[in-house]
Amino acid sequence: MLDEKRRRFIIGSALGAAGFALPTASSATSRNPAIALVLKSISDPFTKTMIGAAQAFHKHSPYPFQLAVQGTATETDVGEQIRIVRSLVRQRVNAVVLAPADSKALIPVASECVRGGIITLTIDNPLEADDLNASGLRVPFVGPDNRRGARLVGNYLARKLHGGDAVGVVEGVPASRNAQQRTAGFVDAMEAAHVNIVAVEAGGWEYIKGKQAAAAILVRKPEIRALLCGNDNMAMGAVDAVREARRSGTVFVTGYNNSNAIKPLLKDGSILATVDQFAAKQAVYGVDVALQALLQQRKQDDLSASIETPVILITREA
């Protein structure tokens, strides 16, 4: 549990801005530990927000530490993310804060980190719990309850629908736990409203793939009244697919992330609602948990299994 003084400090840091200079981690010492932040799709606005917040926290932290930030070119480059983490193991960094591109495929390299004495935790997307247990690993997740966040947006959408209506889901990467949990949250909300989910298509977290997935659903299931999208990139693609299908005004679209790019679409009603999962806070909380573990000389197994960060519903009205 974060004490109130540190909680205010790290939240303040999350709101700051910082550059993207990447210090090297190979010269880490116990008095100046090296923490690596390993992300997906380094050019994505969500990721850029995480980077800026982590850099601001690093700049203003009263405790000296080195921060190295690395990431992949796309959301789904699992092999490159594994290569990055293995390189950090060889560099003997002190901690790795990882946003996994795949909840299963990153478990072996996370195990290499832990076996090497590197404090290891995840943000944004947790590793698969059953596989972690089978491996005898504890890798904490610092992030939101994605299922609850998806229920928030699904419940809001349900107010616009009627029992028996049909909707589709544009999912992220099916192998990722956060995508699974968001889809599960959408299912929870639609089942409670007696609305039928008639199609689920993977959109890979990306605009183009999201647009393609939405277009496929619109062709295959022309009766749908809404598209629930696992993130804002895919939601923006879905908006364009709906427009090109000449269904604007008859098919609702929802997102997840509250990115800056989606705000005009919320304002004009093209997107009904999204969820803010506070990318900045996730990154800062993750780095801070790793830093405090190092300063307190805690072991991997001493860490809490999860530290929940907030989610809130965002609509045109709020």
Q: Give per-residue pLDDT as tens, 112-169.
A: 999 999 999 999 999 999 999 998 999 999 999 999 999 999 999 999 999 999 999 9
pLDDT of 19 higher than 50: no
3-class DSSP state for residue 48?
Answer: helix
Average pLDDT, the chain: 91
Which pLDDT value is given to residue 31?
A: 74
pLDDT of 28 higher than 70: no
Rg (CA), the chain: 20
Higher-confidence position of 6 and 206: 206
Domain definitions of the chain by residue range: 4-143+279-309, 146-276
Q: Work out the average pLDDT over 158-187.
A: 97
Which pLDDT value is given to residue 150?
A: 98
Q: How far apart are CA 219 and CA 56, in angstroms?
A: 46
Residues 274-313: pLDDT tens digits? 999 999 999 999 999 999 999 999 999 999 999 999 999 9
Per DSSP, helices labelled H in the chain are 4-14, 45-60, 78-91, 107-115, 129-135, 146-158, 177-192, 207-220, 232-244, 263-267, 279-295
Is residue 318 very low, low, confident or very high in pLDDT (cuts 50, 70, 90)? low
Q: How far apart are CA 111 and CA 278, in angstroms?
A: 28
Q: How far apart are CA 54 and CA 262, in angstroms?
A: 23
pTM equals 0.85
Same CATH topology for 4-143+279-309 and 146-276: the answer is yes
| DSSP letters spanning 203-219 | -TTSHHHHHHHHHHHHH
CATH classification (class only), 4-143+279-309: alpha beta
CATH topology of domain 146-276: Rossmann fold (3.40.50)
> How far, CA to CA in Å, does 10 sit from each of 3, 7, 54?
11, 5, 10
Which pLDDT value is given to residue 157?
A: 98
Q: How far apart are CA 139 and CA 127, in angstroms?
A: 8
pLDDT of 14 higher than 80: no
Which pLDDT value is given to residue 314?
A: 98
